[in-house]
Structure 1
Amino acid sequence: MKLFRMAAVLAVLAGPAYAQMPNLNLLQEGPGKTPEEKAADAERDKAYKETLKKIPDAKASNDPWGGMRSDPPKQPTPKASTATNAPKKTKAGTAAN
């Protein structure tokens, strides 16, 4: 049990030291590309750039309330006499036309 505790303590203490070690790349340069692979990459890049040119420009936002927020509040128009335009009510509470 004592050996297990010592191993756990060493593992906890070694973690931060391992994180500070530099990243060593032992393979400085990998194998180079063949001329065929380079030509295929160039063709792929060219096709990608042509495809990007075909994408249409983004449209304006489809926000139905966008104009409502940006406009200043409108002044209410003065109403003519509202008493003449109101429908007459009968005793039952329904409007008579």
Structure 2
Amino acid sequence: MSDLLSAGGMRRSNSHNYGDWQTCIKSYLMGQDLWEVVASTEKTPPPKENTEALRKWRIKTGKAMFVLKMTIEEDLVEHMRDAETPNEA
């Protein structure tokens, strides 16, 4: 039970269940309005034009990165350690 993510009861991704995890994580991120930052369809707002939009984008990006890192096995986190955006991860 400890390997279940409390949000939706999703099992952590490992080397054997990537396809199932991918389907579940996409649905979860879409439901949380975070998929656009992962898929890079929501671009980074220009920093000087709209600081509120940039702040909101950074919050969404941080939430998405947290969800991605918390739903994969610890040995896989090292592969996304240097990623700055969910799309890079």
Task: With the length of structure 2 as denominator, give the TM-score of the two structures.
Answer: 0.27
Task: With the length of structure 1 as denominator, give the TM-score of the two structures.
Answer: 0.25
